């Protein structure tokens, strides 16, 4: 998984499955899309344990999270950051957004 931490008014943590980075997905309605071609998600490669630690650290900082991909969403679910109801799908790619 790729993780990139952005510092703005608050931290924004971008997490995505590595194999999805550099791609764009358009839903069948032609309106909703996930664009992973920008630098927003181009972060450091991390394993599931490292991502879980990053999530725990930044939850304490009241960060926002953008999570894209099966593996990334699974780690966020297991860490208690999101629940299944908070996952949407665009072009069958799971994604979740949180604002703590």
pLDDT value, residue 99:
84
90, 27 in Cβ contact below 8 A? yes
pLDDT interval class at 100 (50, 70, 90)? low
Show the domain range for 41.
2-99
pLDDT digits (tens, 9 = 90+) for 10-64: 999 999 999 999 999 999 888 899 999 999 999 999 999 999 999 999 999 999 9
Its pTM stands at 0.93
In the chain, the number of structural domains is 1
pLDDT in tens, 54-85: 999 999 999 999 999 999 999 999 999 999 99
pLDDT at 9 over 90: no
68: nearest Cα among 46, 49, 92, 50:
92
Q: 23-53: b or e for each residue (b if 16 or more CB lie within 10 Å)?
A: eebeeeeeeeebebeeeebebeebeeeebbe
CATH of the domain at 82: 3.30.1860.10
- The token duo for 14 is 């971008």
Largest CA distance in the chain: 37
């Amino acid at each position: 998984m790729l993780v990139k931490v952005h510092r703005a008014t608050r931290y924004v943590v971008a997490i995505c499955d590595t194999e999805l980075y550099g791609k764009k997905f358009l839903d069948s309605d032609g309106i909703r899309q996930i664009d992973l071609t920008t630098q927003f998600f181009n972060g450091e490669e991390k394993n599931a344990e490292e991502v879980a630690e990053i999530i725990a650290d930044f939850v304490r900082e009241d960060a926002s999270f953008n999570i894209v991909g099966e593996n990334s969403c699974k780690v966020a679910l297991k860490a208690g950051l999101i629940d299944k109801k908070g996952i949407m799908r665009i072009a069958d790619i799971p994604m979740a957004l949180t604002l703590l």
